[in-house]
A = this chain, B = another copy of it.
Amino acid sequence: MTRPEPRSAAYAAGPPTLADVAELAHVSRQTVSNALNNPDLLRPDTLERVQAAIAALGYTPNRAARNLRTRASHLIGMRFTPAQEGTANATMDRFVHSLVEASREAGYHVLLFAGHGGDALEGYDDLLRSTAVDAFVVTDTYLGNPQATWLEERGAPFVAFGRPWDQPEATHPWVDVDGAAGARMATEHLLAAGHERVAWIGWRKDSTIGEDRRSGWSGAMRDAGLPTTGLASRVEDTVASGAQAAAVLLDEARPSGFVCASDTLAMGVLHALGERGLAPGRDVAVVGFDDSQVAQVIPGGLTSVRQPLEQVAVEIVTALSGLLSHPPAPGPNTLLAPTLALRGTA
């Protein structure tokens, strides 16, 4: 004890420390620490006295000191990429909030960092080497990016939102949403409503996640004994591309319904329908993907596949907790089923 006089809350030059609590409760610093971390070790009356002192001073352990000692920050790092302008993609907002909430319940906070221009890895490297975070949540695995591999090589704990499509040798934990099941659900919904010519507008072939969703559509069509030839289009994820693809399909294949890989593409379809005076939902059915705000607020609403992001976040934090426990207890990877948000277009 080097500090000459203890600081009361009223005269605090800074937040109270363990020593202040100890002095007030007439115990040693270690006993206060135990009261916090191993309350079972204390005699009930001592514990009570210490807790009273803690409450009286409004004491909360200093994070930096605790982090230094325990070699843990209780921080989860995540690279935050904003929704692209001009698209309807908006899963991030919902996911981040879910992650923050789920992390809190597990005693963690979420630290955001940006991809430093070209080098996405730099942010990870910095945080890792400075031991600023305990683990990462990697969200953009679908880009075929090297982050997962890179982190795995370094033995950095992380959980991916998204399966390691391109890395069959990957062994890291992941949580994902079954996109194929989502597209199948959407397609079967249209088939059940009597549609027979259901078209697909998806992403370019190099998008594994897009191909996965597409397989849900083609599988459902095949299972129903319906042809798919000429009914599919692979384009960029923009409204204009969706509109253009829809126009071509309407001319050449006369579909009565569209299932799309994204709400952005679905908006393109609505655009194309509008230009032909066709009413979405009545003349032609449309289903999007992601249940974005756009799907929710456009007149009539856009039927869309909704990812259970809250559940994804919970599973990710569970996996993370397992990973960070001693000894590490990697849980099973989980594949969650999406739901279909029914609205006016289907």
Interface, chain A (partner B; CB < 8 A): 14-15, 58-65, 67-68, 71, 73, 75, 80-83, 85-90, 92-94, 96-97, 100-101, 104, 109-114, 116, 126, 129-132, 239, 264, 267, 270-271, 274, 292-294, 296-299
Contact = CB atoms under 8 A, between A and B. Distances in A.
B110 A112 contact: yes
Contacts of A294: 88, 293-294, 297-298
Nearest to A58: B129
Given A64-B73, A83-B293, A111 B113 contact: no
Given A83-B93, A88-B297, A294-B298, 12 more contacts: A15-B129, A62-B68, A83-B94, A83-B293, A87-B296, A92-B93, A96-B112, A100-B114, A104-B113, A267-B298, A270-B299, A274-B299
Contact of A299 (B67, B93, B101, B271): B271
Contacts of A83: 90, 93-94, 293
A15 to B, nearest CB: 5
Contact of A67 (B64, B116, B274, B298): B64
Contacts of A62: 68, 130-131
B100 A109 contact: no
Contacts of A82: 93-94, 96-97
B111 A239 contact: no
A78 B60 CA distance: 19
Give the interface SS of chain A, mostly helix, strand, loop or mixed.
Answer: mixed
A231 B59 CA distance: 56
Contact of A111 (B97, B111, B126, B299): B111
* Copies per assembly: 2
Contact of A60 (B104, B111, B126, B299): B126
A14 to B, nearest CB: 8
A18 to B, nearest CB: 12
B68 A97 contact: no
A87 B94 CA distance: 13
Contact of A90 (B65, B71, B110, B293): B293
A80 B96 contact: yes
Contact of A293 (B63, B65, B104, B293): B293
Considering residues A60, A89, A101, A112, which has the most beta carbons from chain B within 10 angstroms of its beta carbon? Answer: A112
A113 B59 CA distance: 20
A184 to B, nearest CB: 25
A153 B64 CA distance: 24
A97 B84 CA distance: 11
Given A15-B131, A60-B126, A131-B63, A296 B111 contact: no
A28 B94 CA distance: 49
- Name which of A86, A96, A114 has the most chain B CB atoms within 10 A of its CB: A114
29 contacts: A15-B131, A62-B130, A62-B131, A63-B132, A64-B71, A64-B73, A65-B68, A67-B67, A75-B111, A80-B97, A80-B100, A81-B97, A82-B96, A82-B97, A83-B293, A85-B293, A86-B296, A87-B293, A88-B293, A90-B293, A92-B93, A97-B114, A110-B112, A111-B112, A239-B297, A264-B297, A270-B299, A293-B294, A294-B298
